[in-house]
Amino acid sequence: MPSPNDSTDESESTDYSYVTTFDPTDGRPSEAVVTAVAAVLEADPAELPPLYDVMDPGALNDLVEHAQRRATDGTHLVWFTYEGLEVGVRSDGEIRIRDVTAAS
C-alpha cells in the first residue's frame, strides 16, 4: 500500500487534460472542483448537477481541512468520477482532471 508520503509523482505517468490549484486553507475545495469541471466542459458551474450526487462535498472539504491541520501527514489524494471526468483532489490544493475514457 503506498504511503501518503511516497515521492512518486503520478503526474509524470498520467496524461491529465486539466490541472488547476485552489487555496486548501479556505475550506471549500468542493466549490473549486465544480468550477474546474465546468471549465473543462466549457459550461456554467450552476448548470452542472450537484456534486453531492456523486460524493459528499462536506467530507471532501473536511478531508482537505484535516490534512492542512496535520501537515506532517503528507499529501492526500481523492479520486472520483463527476460528469464523465475523473477528478483527483490533492490536499495540497491541486485538482487533476482527465477524461474517464482516456484514463482506462
Write down the pLDDT at residue 64: 92
Q: Is residue 94 part of a domain?
A: yes
Q: Is the pLDDT of residue 2 over 60?
A: no
Write down the pLDDT at residue 102: 67
Total count of domains within the chain: 1
Integer Cα distance of 13 and 18 in angstroms = 15
Q: Is residue 53 part of a domain?
A: yes
CB-side neighbour CA atoms (13 Å) of 45:
10
What global pTM score does this model have?
0.81
Using pLDDT thresholds of 50, 70 and 90, give the confidence band for residue 101.
Answer: confident
Give the domain extent around 52. 16-103
Give per-residue pLDDT as tens, 63-87.
999 888 886 667 889 999 999 999 9
Residue type present at position 18:
Y
Average pLDDT taken over every residue of the chain = 85
